[in-house]
Structures are given as structure tokens and as C-alpha cells.
Chain A
């Protein structure tokens, strides 16, 4: 019998622990390969050798590690917990299975069970054009609809892409985000593993989303996936990523690098629903380049993690390029979400919109940090930045850091920011219609983020609203 909506909602009562926080503790011994703790050039050699990589990549990794070691920990933003990351206590590379499979049945039972619990095989059947599933450091499952393969679409894990399509890979890899871009991009460049590689040929529109799901299972795991997406002229793709992890008492680290190129007239939408457990540092660099009349859209939902620092960026390099960043950050107890977006207008008639909604509760801290830059010569650039914060109680905090640099006179720039609280009167109004306090609060919050959830495919919008209700349950007495 099909589940009713309210039955599903009831299941939300199950907390993160039972829904996402489970782990497979016994399987560690069954991993195909697990590096020791700590970061070193020996580790880099081991990873590279394990992947049987070309020499240039091995060198790239070593150089990146040098950059990482040389760079100081960033101090801007005042993130004291950054200094608490113990890089020597992290496992940088775990290969759970010997081979990648393209049938869920071929996975070891406990790993398959994890994906079943997260509902990924079910989602694939219903509404996805392709799925990649990364467990620890490696993509263990990957599949793309045959019809798309025939049209020349490439959707592979990044390691396989390097092996099988080295030419196109090398042409773009590390060009959007240089290996020394920032300390964590350098770390990723040194120890990267997994992630998605997508190439959409000219004029091909992929109607259903491609999804990648990232799962950390082991304690003190470091996950460093590397994603590279190339959308050729007039092509379209919507890529969705989700992420969860078990709850452990000590911290894990997720530090991804995502590079995207959208060619003339193409469009790429990249949706993230990040729901890491509250012991994961989430320090991610995401940047896209949009060429002439291309459109790049980041839809970035941050609900989980201990500390997230993530500002998806768009460089509008061609005349008429358009960029959008829609960001939701939800910070609960012990969480700090430093999210936002960057748009750089480097060509005439480029347009951008950044919409940020942040919610903080139970002492959480959520903020918007964004950069809007218009270079000289980017005549006719238009941009609008809207950041709204909702603070649910007196212990919680919201910050807004909108950096704006304009070097061109012929521009049209708008910036609006609001901060609000859920009012007692609003809650009373909803409760006087029969909703309990948690339901009423969740309704106000869902409404607050609605401008962003309405941009999500229905299934993800439902998921996002469920996650918000889940988050809200703990927030009221």
C-alpha cells in the first residue's frame, strides 16, 4: 500500500540518527584498501599508484600538497573551529570495493543496504537519468541511461574519466579552480578521489536530472571528491548531489572541488542538498565559468554539517551570460553555516541574481557571505542580491557579509537584506487553526524558503521540506 503524505511526515519523527546516522561498523575490515591516518607525500604516492594514474597527475598531487602545507589556515571570517581540524587524525583514502558496478545487486550486501536505506535505487527508477554513488573515497556504483550514452553524454566518476578520456579531462581539469586557489582546494587537489565527470555534447538537453550521492561511512573519514562538468554549446544538464554521514563523536572532513564550464548558449543547473551529520567539516570550493549567453545556476541547500564554508561562484565571461545562486542555510545547535555565493561580471550585458535565505535556531549560526564584482568594461551588467535571515530564538545568530566591487559605471545593481524572527502572533494565528507549535513553525520556515524550494524538482522540494520539518522538531519544547 502506498504511503500517505502524513505517514511519510510521521517518519520524520525518526531523528537523523536512525534515518541517516546509521553506519556499517563491521565492514571496515572488509574495505578493499584503507590508508593509514595522516597526510604525507607517501600517502599521495599510494593514492596515485592505487589509481594507476599518469605521471602528470601524480606530480600535480605532490605539488598541491606542497601548496597545502605552505598555506596558512584562513583566518578571515573568524572560524575558530577551523583550527580544531586534526589533519593527522584523518583517513584520506578508503577504497571500499575492488570494482565499480552498474547494478545495485552487485554491491556487497551492507553497502547496498546503505543505498537502499537512503532510497537511491528507488529514486533512480522513478526520476533520474543517471546515478553515481560514492562511498568513502570511491564511486562504487555508476549508471547512465543508454539513450544518453548513445547521444554522446559522458557521466562517469572522475577517476574513470581520467583513464578513459584523458585528453578532454586534461584540457579542463584544474583550469577553473587552480590547485593553489585556497588551502582546501590545494588539499583536494593533493588527495582527490571520486566525484563526477560530465560532458554534455552540443545541443543535447538532458531532461531528467543526473544525481550523485556522497556517503561517508567511516569515522574520521576525509572525503575529497572532484567534480568536473562541461556543458557544450546550447546543451543543458541538471546535476543534483546529496550527502549524508553517520553521527560520530569525532570529526570527519569533506572538502570537494567542483569545476564547471558552460559553453555558448548552454545551461547548467547544479543542485546540492547537503545534510551531513553534525560532526562533518564541509569546506568546499565550487566555481563555474559561463561563456556567451550561457546560464549557470547553483541551487545550494545546506542543512547539515558542523561547519560549512561554501560560496558557489560564477564567472560571467561571455557577453549576455547569466548566473543565479539560490542558497539556503539552516543552522541548528552546534552548527555554523557560512554560505553564500559569488558572481563576477567580466563581460558586457551579463546578469546575475543571488538569493540567500538563512535560518538559525537553538544557538546555531547561519550567515550569508557573498561577493559581487563587476569588472571594468562589463557595460550593461545587471545584478540583484537578496539576502533574508530568519532567526528562530534569542540564542541564535545570523550574519550578512555582502562584498560588492564595481569598476564600471554603466551597471544596474540592487541589494536587499532583511532579518526577521518568527513572531508570536504568526504562530498563534496558525495554531488557532489547529496546527501544533512545531507544525506552525515549520510552516513559517517552509514559506520562508519557498522561493528556493519552488525551484527544485518536486521530489527534492518534498525532501527539503521534510528535512526542514525534521530540523524544526527539535526546536520547540
Chain B
């Protein structure tokens, strides 16, 4: 049973501008949490800060994974500990094939989890798992030998993000606007892929602007995120309400407070 806790989390840009202004959130395996908010509310900053992006500074509060404080840990250490971020805009790594990249990433994680001693996944085992998961996610096998995200369509990038997640088997996955740029068929495949992984071994935090993806990944908890704070919490019915009424209610409130 894994558990990620954000405790009074404050995040600022390098120039000191505060973006995330005190978030308390606990995500356990088997749970799907949705963070919904308007553009510019700081959702992606929250995702980057959880994953350990060096340009975002945690100015207050803590990130705790399974009882271990990882607030100061590097992005690599967090990944090794079991965090995964599916990027909104995955970066291209020309010259490095998807297969080669994934093998090295998996072996880096396995090494870290093996007390720093190499424990590479045997090639046949890797190959078998890789092919099976590509088929599950309807990722064309031809992509395996292409350079990571280099010239991929938006849909291919997102599927390969979820493929990476499936291969790396994280404890907690953060999905940053995974629905953006996907047509409805791709969205279904990707969402079902995520839904399959959520269970006793994984919990998910789905960050989104629209309710659309939540038709396929059923959230247990919905958090409305405005101006760096969670302003309301509820069950999946809250997402449906937002789809109709939007974020105006809270945004106006914020203005009044300001």
C-alpha cells in the first residue's frame, strides 16, 4: 500500500513568484484523484514540483512518499522511489530509441531499488513485457525503434508516456493534462490504460482542465484548484458540476479575497 502526502505545499518560481500556495493532499494506491482547475491556476507547477523539477522551488511544506520525506530529493531519486509524471509536453530525445531509453530507465530504477547494485531486467523478460504493453496500449510496434518523441504525433507521445508508466510500474502516477491533444479514440485507449494500472500497486493524480478524461478514468476524489490552492473537494459528481458551471464561482471569490 503506497501513499503520497503533500503537506502544506508551497511552490515558487526561481524569481520568487509564489504559484502553489499551500496544498494538502493524500493519495493512496487504488485511488484516483483528479485536480481540476482553469488555465494558469498552477496545476502544472504542482505536477512539476511533485516530480522534482529544479526550476520550481518548494518554499514551505513537505512531500512524503511512504513515510519518507522526499521534499529535497532529485527527480531521479523520486522516480526511483516510485513516482511517475506523465508529461503534458514530452520532450524529444533524438538518436535514442524508445526501446533503448526504456531499458536504461528500467535498469536505473532497478539498480536504485537494489541498493545501488546493478540488477538489469533480462532482455527476454523486457521484450516480452514491452511487446505486451505496446499491444495493450495500441502503440504501433514501429514506434519502439523510433527516436523517443522525435517527430511523434500528439497522440503517439501521450501513448508512449503511458507505455513508460506501464513499464516503470510506479507507486503513484501524476498525469499532467494527458487528455490535451488527444482525439476521442486515443483518449479512450490512454484512459483505459491508466485505469488498468490503478489498483493495489498504484494510485493516480489526474490533472486536467476538462472533465472529458474523467468519463474514462473514474475519480474517487475531485479537487478544484484555483490560484494555487484547493478550493473545493468532492466526489466524481463535482467534476460533472464543473463541466456545466466552470470555475467562475471560485475565480470570482479569489478576486474578492485579493
Contacts and interface: CB of A to CB of B under 8 A. Distances in A.
Given A429-B90, A450-B96, A434 B118 contact: no
Contacts of A437: 74, 76
Contact of A434 (B87, B90, B108, B147): B108
Interface residues of A, number: 29
Contacts of B55: 424
Contacts of A446: 95-96
Interface in A405-448: 423-426, 428-437, 439-440, 443-444, 446-448
A448 B94 CA distance: 7
A434 B120 contact: no
A83 interface: no
| SS of A interface (majority) | helix
B120 A431 contact: no
B91 interface: yes
Given A434-B80, A435-B104, A448-B95, A428 B75 contact: yes
Contacts of A7: 118
Contacts of A429: 87, 90-91, 93
B108 A435 contact: yes
B109 interface: yes
A418 to B, nearest CB: 11
Which of A4, A429, A444 has most chain B Cβ within 10 Å?
A: A429
Contacts of A430: 93, 101, 105
Contacts of B253: none
A337 to B, nearest CB: 20
B19 interface: no
Contacts of A424: 54-55
Given A446-B96, A447-B96, A433 B91 contact: no
Nearest to A443: B96
Nearest to B74: A431
A445 to B, nearest CB: 9
Nearest to A448: B95
A18 interface: no
A447 B95 contact: yes
B53 interface: yes
Contacts of A98: none
Contacts of B74: 431, 436-437
B54 A10 contact: no
A5 B120 CA distance: 9
B53 A435 contact: no
B41 interface: no
A436 B168 CA distance: 15
B51 interface: yes
B108 A426 contact: no
A323 to B, nearest CB: 24
A173 to B, nearest CB: 40
Contacts of B105: 430, 433-435
Nearest to B103: A5
A13 interface: no
A108 interface: no
Interface string A1-23: 00011110010000000000000
A272 B87 CA distance: 40
A405 to B, nearest CB: 32
Interface of B: 51-55, 74-76, 78-80, 84-85, 87, 90-91, 93-96, 101, 104-109, 111-112, 118, 120, 147, 164, 168
19 contacts: A425-B91, A429-B87, A432-B76, A432-B79, A432-B84, A433-B105, A433-B108, A434-B105, A434-B112, A435-B108, A436-B74, A436-B76, A443-B104, A444-B93, A447-B147, A448-B94, A448-B95, A450-B94, A450-B95
Given A433-B164, A434-B105, A436-B108, 8 more contacts: A5-B120, A6-B120, A431-B75, A434-B106, A435-B108, A440-B76, A446-B95, A447-B93
